[in-house]
Amino acid sequence: MQSPRALALALLLTGCATTSTTPPADAAPEAQEPPTRTGVVHRNDTPYTLVGPALAVGDKAPTAALRNAQLARVTPDFADGRPRVVLIVPSLDTPTCGMQTRTFNGEASDMGDQVEVLVISRDLPFAQARFCGAHGIDRVVPLSDYESGAFGQSWGLFIQETALLARAVAVIDGTGTVTYLEVVPNLPDEPAYAPALAALAALVDTAE
């Protein structure tokens, strides 16, 4: 019969033998941090860091869940055969973002229902709806990335320092391919409207 001391030692050794620092084979891998980029956008003399991979012409437009005016989750389908303009803005409550949205709203009115224009920001849907109502925005669909910023990160346009989105304009064809992209370097500046509208018109002409 083992002494109490010998029994305790045996239990201790047994416990040590069954303890392992090796994670189980089915353990979930650690989530990787998204890439970051500097030197792309700034506000006057203040540089900003963008979170997410860079998007380029010829890429398939990434998508992620957004919230509409009714707070319902909406995931845009960029490959449904419809040409689109996607406006990415820091906030509709700023003069430049408001001008950008109103300009494309007027231009889209002349192109008919075959073209969809989206404006995406991290404003709450209530603020987006208020802006659109106050300015007669009826051809631009506002969608909010407030919940997680996942859409902005998938496009590489999430600003690390402010948690807002950078300013950009993308034209996407019916297959979901980016045919035109401008990321505005200085956030207070407006985008170049003419090249974006020309790229969109080319898609409309092709579809007719």
Active site residue ranges: 97
Helix (H) or strand (E) holding 176: none
Q: CB pairs under 8 A, 24+ apart, for 179-184? A: 179/57, 179/203, 180/57, 181/55, 181/56, 181/57, 183/40, 183/41, 183/157, 184/41
Q: Where are the alpha helices (DSSP H) in the chain?
A: 4-18, 95-109, 125-135, 150-154, 193-207
| CA–CA separation, 172 and 164 (whole Å) | 22
71's torsion region: left (phi>0), alpha (psi -120 to 50) or beta? left
Q: Do the bridges between strand 178-183 and strand 168-172 make them parallel or antiparallel, or are there none, so unpaired?
A: antiparallel
Contact, 159 vs 41, CB < 8 A?
yes
| CA–CA separation, 68 and 71 (whole Å) | 5
Q: Within 10 A of 199 (CB to CB), how many other CB atoms are there?
A: 22
| CA–CA separation, 16 and 169 (whole Å) | 60
